Amino acid sequence: MSEVNGYSRSRLTGLGERLGWAVESSQLVAKYFYPFATRVGSDDRVCLNMGYEEEPPMAVPLEASDEHNRFPIQLYCRTATQVDLADKRVLEVSCGHGGGASYLVRTLHPASYTGLDFNRAGIEFCRRMHHVPGLDFVCGNAENLPFEDQTFDAVLNIEASSYYPRFPLFLAEVARVLSPGGHFLYADVRPRGLVAKWEEELGNSAMRLTSERVISEEIARGLEKAKSRLKEVDNRPFPASLLDIDKAVPKICRNLRSGVSSYRMYCFAND
């Protein structure tokens, strides 16, 4: 399978489709969007996920250095706090640029927190940017986790699983590395036509569903509030269809609110 920056072209195509942006081909996404979205030249791009906001606003207390990423961090906060992570061994699969990992370690105080990602450049960025006791980063594959059985008390996965070619294999790996009584804390989006398959694959997992919530409205609200942050990009020759945030964000929000796509948050227990 052909790869760009450690990501398969099929996964890159899915990125454009799930965001609702006008992507004409996998080559276009591979050439332009992924290097843009995960570029390591900008130190404030520590959060790559979409935003989240409730009504009334969450008002999560943040350090000044985190404020720029308030809405993506709020998605991490809401997903991770479905269980108490204090003194727990936590694994985040597909940690991106580590902003969510850094925030959770500093505020929820797990015993340890490992961020894993398939993108070597992203892991190098994380290691350079985030120096927090108890936090480490490794390069690895979500479908073949490089850890022994029952290594972690919680596994976190946010806005990444739709890129995995074999999603059921990822779920099996999560169950394998979780200790008995551990939890899988999960949030992601699917287009309407793939929701039934998504639900079937989750239902076939060895883990037990304890909670499920559709958060499409909260994601749309967070994106709208974060739009000014998303527009802070450097001047590079990217296609207008990928960079016109004023058009892209409303389209994504319409898709979420109309049910064209569905964003959900889950908690599973490993009995």
Give residue-wise pLDDT tens across range 251-267: 999 999 999 999 999 99
C-alpha distance across the termini of the chain, in Å: 36
Task: Give me the domains of the chain, ranges plus CATH numbers.
Answer: 44-270 (3.40.50.150)
Question: Taking the mean position of all CA atoms in its chain, how far away is CA 262?
Answer: 15
Angle of CA points 214, 20, 22, to nearest 5°: 175
Distance CA 132, CA 55 (A): 32
Mean pLDDT of 61-76: 94
Rounding to the nearest 10 degrees, give the CA dihedral for residues 191, 249, 263, 28.
50
Instruction: List pLDDT tens digits, range 95-128.
Output: 999 999 999 999 999 999 999 999 998 999 999 9
This prediction has a pTM of 0.85
pLDDT for res 81? 98
